[in-house]
Structure 1
Amino acid sequence: METVRVAFRDECERLEEVLHGLDEADLDRPTPCPPWAVRDLLAHVRTGAGRLVDMLAAPAPQRAEVDAAGYFGAAKFTPEVDRARIDVAQQEAREMPGVREVADGFARAWRSADAAVAAQPPGRLVRTRHGDAMTLTEFLRTRVVEVGVHGLDLADALHRQPWLTPTATDVIADLLSDARSGPVPDGLGWDRLTLMRKATGRAALTDRERALIDRAGLRWLTFGG
C-alpha cells in the first residue's frame, strides 16, 4: 500500500504543479482523447483522483473479487459507459471554467482521497462504480494508472515533455508488464515509457511488434477511464 500511495501522491503533486502553470488558452487545446479538450480531460482526471472519498464512506464488501488488472477489463467499457464518461467530464468541465478553479479543484480532490486512504485500516476493501469488489491497494493502483497515463495525454496536448514521476512509472509499468499476460517479450526493446504508450494505444504497433506480441500471447488491458 505505501508504495502505491507514494506513487499516487507523487503523480498528483506533479500534475498539480503543471496545472498552476497553465493559462486559459491551454484549457481549450485538443487532446489525444477526442472529443475532449484539455479542460474536459482534466475534469475526468479530477473525478477519478477523488473517487475514493465516496467509496471509502460506503460499506466495505465482504471479499475482494477483482485486482487492478481485472478492473481494466473490456466488458465494462461499453459504448454506453464510454458515452456517459465523455458527457460527464464535459459537463463537469463547464462548472470549473478557469485555470485557478481547475487547479484548485484537482488539488482538493486528490488530497481528500489521500486523507481518506490514510484513515483506513490495513486490508480495507472497496466497491467501485462498476460494482467490482477490490482491495483498497488494488483500486489505488488504478488511480495511479489513470493520473499517470492521462498525464501523457495532457503532456502531448500541451506540447510538453512527459512529466511522469519515477514512482508512478514503476507502478504502471509493473502492472502492464506482469498483470495477466506475463512479462513483455525481450525482443521488443521498449523502455517503460514506450511500453505505456504502446500498451494503452498512445503509440501504434509496428508489424514486427504485433507479431512478437501475438507470439507471446500478450494481452493488453483495456483503458476506458
Structure 2
Amino acid sequence: MPTRCTPWTVSELLAHVRVVIAWLPGMLAAPAPTRAEVSAVEYYRPDSRFAPNTNAARIAMAQDHAAEQLSGAALAKDFNVTWQQVDRLCQAEPEGRVVRTRYGDPMFLSEFLVTRVVEVAVHGLDLADALGREPWLTSKAADVVQDLLLGGPDGAALEKLGWGQLRFLHKATGREPITSEEALDVDRLDIRWLTLG
C-alpha cells in the first residue's frame, strides 16, 4: 500500500524505521567521542544529510531492506528483533554515553535516542494513516517530539494555537497543511521546524 512518504510503500517505510534504529549497535560498538557537540535539535539542521543524493540513498536503502524480506510477517519480525536488541544495548550504557552518528555528529546517546523517537513516532503516524488505522502513538513518544519542537514542555503553546497534541505533531512535521494565519501564530510562538528528509 502507498504512504504519504512517496515513493515508499508501507513495507518500505517500516523497513526505513528499522534501518534508522539498526544504526545503533554499530554506533555503540565504536569508540566513544570525548564529548558531545550536537543536540537533537541541531541534528536536524539543513545540510548534506538532507541533500537530494542523501535522500535518494535513504529511500533506496529502505526499499532494498524491504525487498530482502520474504513477507510482511518476516519484515515485522525483523523489526521486532532489531528494536529489542537496540533496547538491550542502550539500557546497558552508562548515563552520559557519547556516540558518533553516521553523519559524524558526536552526541549524547540520550539525545540521539530522541531523534529515533522522532523517526518512530512520526513514521508511525504515516503508517497508521496508510493502513487506515487510528494512530498508536504513545503519550510518552508524543511528549518527546512535542518537547523537541517546542524547546521543552509547553502545553500553553498548543492551547494558544487551539490544537491538540496529535494535530500539532501532524502540522509541525508537514503531515497536515498550515494556513498562512496559523504560520503567523507559529512564528509568534517561536516553534521549531525541523529539517526532515
Structure 1 residue 58 and structure 2 residue 48: aligned?
A: no
- Residue 196 of structure 2 corresponds to residue 223 of structure 1: yes
Q: Is the 8 A contact 2:149 2:191 kept in 1?
A: no
Q: For residue 3 of structure 2, what is the aligned residue in structure 1?
A: 31
Instruction: Give 1:6's aligned residue.
Output: none
What is the percent sequence identity of the aligned residues?
Answer: 51
Shift of 1:219: 3.4
Query: 1:156 Cα shift?
Result: 0.6
Superposed displacement of residue 188, structure 1: 1.2
1:217 Cα deviation after fit: 4.3
- The farther-off stretch of 168-177 and 155-164 is 168-177
Contact kept, 8 Å, 1:44 with 1:89, in 2: the verdict is yes
CA distance in structure 2 between the partners assigned to 1:151 and 1:102 by the alignment = 15
Q: Equivalent of 2:184, from 185, 191, 211?
A: 211
**1:53 CA displacement:** 0.9
Alignment of 1:42-57 (within 5 A): 42-57=14-29
Inter-partner Cα distance in structure 2 for 1:36 and 1:184: 33
- The one-letter code of the counterpart of 2:76 is A
Cα pair 2:98 2:109 within 8 Å, conserved? yes
Q: Which moved more, 1:213-222 or 1:61-70?
A: 213-222
1:113 positional shift = 0.5
- 5 Å-filtered alignment, 1:27-176, equals 29-75=1-47, 76-176=49-149
What secondary structure sits across from 1:126 in the alignment? strand
Query: What is the alpha-carbon distance in structure 1 between the residues aligned to residue 3 and residue 93 of structure 2?
Result: 36
Contact 2:27 2:99 in 1 (8 A): yes
Q: Please, what TM-score do these two structures have when normalized by structure 1?
A: 0.82
- SS at 1:74 equivalent: coil
Equivalent residues in 2 for 1:189-200, closer than 5 Å: 189-200=162-173
Q: Which has the bigger relative contact order, CA under 8 A and spacing at least 6?
A: 1
Per-residue CA deviation, residues 59-90 of structure 1 (Å, 9 max, x unaligned), is: 11111011111111111311111011011111
- C-alpha contact (below 8 Å) 1:55/1:126 kept by paired residues: yes
TM-score normalised to the size of structure 2? 0.93
**In structure 2, distance between residues paired with 1:99 and 1:215:** 45
Q: 1:191 to 1:104 in 2, by over 3 A?
A: same
Offset of 1:161 from its aligned partner? 0.7
Give me the whole-angstrom Cα distance separating, in 1, the residues matched to 2:192 and 2:149.
9
**What are the ranges of 5 or more consecutive residues in structure 1 without an aligned counterpart?**
1-28
Query: C-alpha separation between the residues in 1 aligned to 2:192 and 2:140?
Result: 24
Separation in 1, partners of 2:73, 2:177: 35
TM-align CA RMSD? 1.5
